[in-house]
Amino acid sequence: MKVLQVVPFITPGSGLGRYVLNLSSILSESGHETAVLTTHTLDPEFEREELKKHGAGCAGQLGSCGKIRMYWKCKRLIESYKPDILIVNYDGTAQFVLPFLKHRPKVVHVLHNNTEDFYRVASINGGLVDGWIAPTRAIADRFNDFTHGKYSAKTIVIPHGVEIPAAEPIKQNSVPQLIFVGVHYEHKGVKILPEIIEKLIERGLEFHFTIVGEGELSRWLHNRLCDQVKKNIVSFTGIITPREVYELLAKADIFVYPTHIDAFGLVIAEAMINGAVPVVTDLKGITDNLIENGNDGYLLAQDDVEEFTNVIERLLKCQEKRSEIKNNARKKALSRFSLSKMSENYNQYIDTFAMNGKIR
């Protein structure tokens, strides 16, 4: 089958970009002809190189177009590619042109985040969409609430997948390693990281905390933690490649993620499969979809500095408990959240089109 994905853009380190590239690899390795069209391209050369690495063609890049011309070119490029399946990833431009396509592919929209705007874009011309995929049951349910159940029969849940490390991570740290991975924005909970770090130091605990990523709060974080950086308790990496993220997660003992918003928690699954104990915010129907509290990670109240600090302290003081949770987390991630499992689920879904053209 010919499969075309449409996405606003692909940028280094973004969860949406990683999903599109991972799905490109899955489709290509499964024998499908696959390509990606980006409607708001930011870095054309990066996109082309990454798509090539993942077995996908570049069907077009529309970042420099004006609005009207963008709609026209998007329509023309989709028609030119003639996909059997069109997969839309939070792309309003593609949703708006659906009624004007001469070539009628099966259309699938992937729900990537738990916000009204994602649900709004996903429901544009919903009568022309054949199916919606949500990474968690909560996202599916909230989309169906947003659309008053109009599309519930066509909405299914397929968890995202993450790469299995080449070798089982072995933790050999003389000092326990903590890590945060994500954009430095308030909705990722980064404002409580300095308080957690300061409380852990006050309690006399030895550790090193690596903060990965960048964002509008990066300078604020650097200023708040400048003394800890000088003492080599904290380090910042800035934006790094997915491979470098994996290498750091493989070395880490504890993954600290006090996020306020998520759709699936791809980076949580990456931490789990790399053997880093996840200590994250309890987001009902989302993070508890990945983690069983106390068994393969910890789910804590949003912005509860004391609770985050207490759990991390217990883990730092008890290596045996860290090892137990780490092993349980890795085992679950391998069985439920690997790219191989994602590939199995997506190929089964796509096969329904080949057999009878209907959504399960």
Eight-state DSSP code of residue 338 = B
266-321 pLDDT, tens digit each: 899 999 999 999 999 999 988 998 999 999 999 999 999 999 999 999 999 999 99
Eight-state DSSP code of residue 241 = -
Same domain, 139 and 230: no
Q: Is residue 289 part of a domain?
A: yes
DSSP string, 139-177: HHHHHHHHTTTTTGGGEEE----BPPPSS------SS-E
Question: In total, how many domains does the chain have?
Answer: 2
Same domain, 155 and 198: no
User: Which pTM was predicted?
Assistant: 0.82
Q: Is residue 186 part of a domain?
A: yes
224-268 pLDDT, tens digit each: 999 999 999 999 999 888 889 999 999 999 999 999 988 788 899
Q: Is residue 170 part of a domain?
A: no
Among candidates 109, 81, 99, 278, which has minimal Cα distance to 181? 278
Q: Is the pLDDT of residue 7 over 80?
A: yes
Same domain, 145 and 227: no
Query: CB-hemisphere CA count at 13 Å for 349?
Result: 27
Same domain, 12 and 136: yes
Same domain, 122 and 247: no
Same domain, 299 and 342: no
Same domain, 109 and 209: no
Q: Is residue 61 part of a domain?
A: yes
Distance CA 74, CA 344 (A): 30
Same domain, 193 and 330: yes
Q: Are the beta carbons of 193 and 211 closer than 8 angstroms?
A: yes
DSSP string, 296-332: SSEEE-TT-HHHHHHHHHHHHH-HHHHHHHHHHHHHH
Q: Is residue 171 part of a domain?
A: no
Q: Is residue 169 part of a domain?
A: no
Same domain, 225 and 257: yes
Q: Is the pLDDT of residue 356 over 90?
A: no
Q: Tell me the H-state helices in 203-286.
A: 218-224, 226-230, 242-251, 266-273
Arithmetic mean of pLDDT, 153-157: 95
- Please tell me the predicted confidence (pLDDT) of residue 360: 36
Please tell me which residue, 29 or 165, carries the higher pLDDT value: 29
- For residue 233, give the CATH number of its domain: 3.40.50.2000
Distance CA 359, CA 108 (A): 10
Amino acid at 42: L
Please tell me which residue, 259 or 66, carries the higher pLDDT value: 259
Same domain, 141 and 208: no
- Please tell me the predicted confidence (pLDDT) of residue 6: 97
- Please tell me the predicted confidence (pLDDT) of residue 342: 95
| Average pLDDT of the chain, as a whole number | 93
Same domain, 317 and 346: no
Share of the chain above pLDDT 90, in %: 82
Q: Is residue 109 part of a domain?
A: yes
- Please tell me the predicted confidence (pLDDT) of residue 291: 96
Same domain, 37 and 130: yes
Q: Is residue 193 part of a domain?
A: yes
167-180 pLDDT, tens digit each: 778 777 889 999 99
14-50 pLDDT, tens digit each: 778 889 999 999 999 999 999 999 999 989 999 999 9
Q: Which range of residues forms the domain containing residue 37? A: 2-161+338-355
